[in-house]
Amino acid sequence: MPARNRRLPRHRAWPLTTTDIDECLGPLLSHVTDLRFLTGSDSGTIVLGAAWVAPHPRNHGRGVHPDTVGFRLDVHPVDATERAAVRAVLRARALPQLHAWVTRAIAADETWRLVPHQHHWRLADGHLTHRDEA
């Protein structure tokens, strides 16, 4: 990202790019309604988050805007010195898992799709873990 567009302190960096996400998801990217590169100072061990945004009424008319339903992806910043190593792990392991999670979610039954869901990938001490979270 060019310095003029940089919204992170110099010691922080995003481990993935929009190109990484696009290469991973391909045509499934059309189901992603919100791709965010978070700017918070510390997300703990979370490096990537995915969420299913369910069709909940968001106004007094009880209507659901179709643009709000779909997947939200959050790329969390990491220490700039660890960016390359984290990126390698995410591209090799987390992105294929993200692809599988999105694929399963698209094929899920209506009961699953009517409830919001979150899935996080955490990297601690070189070990990547992932799980659904409430």
Q: Is 67 helix (H, G, I), strand (E, B) or coil?
A: helix
Q: Is 71 helix (H, G, I), strand (E, B) or coil?
A: strand
Please name the helix (run of DSSP H) or strand (run of DSSP E) that holds residue 133, with its range, or none. Answer: strand 127-133
**Each residue's pLDDT tens digit in the chain (134 positions)?**
544 456 788 889 999 999 999 999 999 999 999 999 999 767 789 999 999 998 875 554 555 556 678 999 999 999 999 999 999 999 999 999 999 999 999 999 999 999 999 999 999 988 999 999 86
CB 123 within 8 A of CB 47: yes
Q: Is the pTM value of this prediction over 0.75?
A: yes
CA distance linking residue 77 with residue 46, whole number of Å: 9
Alpha helices (runs of H) in 1-134, residue ranges in sequence order: 18-25, 83-89, 95-107, 110-113
> Scanning the structure block, which residue is given the tokens 């969390």?
76
CB 131 within 8 A of CB 118: no
